[in-house]
Amino acid sequence: MIHDEARETFDDREVAVVVAAIDTSNLASRVVELSSRVARRTWPNSQLHLVHVFRSSSFDRPSSAGIDRGDLLDEARSHLDYHVRSARRQCTAPVIAHLAEGDPVEEVLKVSRSVSADLLIVGTHDFIGLERFLLGSVANTIAKRAPCSVLIVRQKQRPYVKVSGDVGR
């Protein structure tokens, strides 16, 4: 029995690390909401890390657009800060922001490893056909290579419908 009590005490002190990867889509708010709920309800001691990756390759950013790179980085930081404030309103766990630049898969995995993530939460756009061939699946690649468990968040496909208690009678 003493061993079990010692284990319970250790588990209570252990910090669970949740990493949530957000992009600029509408799905980012859902990822933040779900990751905040997981951090708040699942572990008594948790940290929530939000990661936003600024894609910097010439494929991602048209060079002739005349937009200053610094302005784009400021916009990315502002987007991340907005979601950090949202997460802090939804949970009491410490929320840490990570703004990275480069390939989303590599940067999200790098942050996950550096903070010893216990759970990684990412959104997926469920691209099909040519879009998936050209863009790949960031969520799928992360899930295959992550150092921890991964929760993939999708948009709800249909509204919730309450089922009455007398179904099937």
Q: What CATH number is attached to the domain comprising 114? A: 3.40.50.620
Is residue 161 a part of any domain in this protein? no
Which residue range is the domain that position 46 belongs to?
Answer: 14-153
Is the pLDDT reported for residue 97 higher than 80? yes
144 domain-assigned: yes
- How many structural domains compose the chain? 1
Is 160 inside a domain boundary? no
Q: Please check the confidence at residue 111 and state whether its pLDDT lies above 70.
A: yes
68 vs 10: CA distance, rounded Å: 50
pLDDT interval class at 167 (50, 70, 90): low
CB 108 within 8 A of CB 123: no
Report the C-alpha gap between 132 and 137 in whole angstroms.
6
Least confident of 23-32, 52-61, 88-97: 52-61
In-domain check, residue 65:
yes
Q: pLDDT tens-digit profile of 12-22? A: 668 899 999 99
pTM score, whole prediction: 0.78
CA–CA dist 76, 24 (Å, integer) = 8
**165 located within any domain:** no
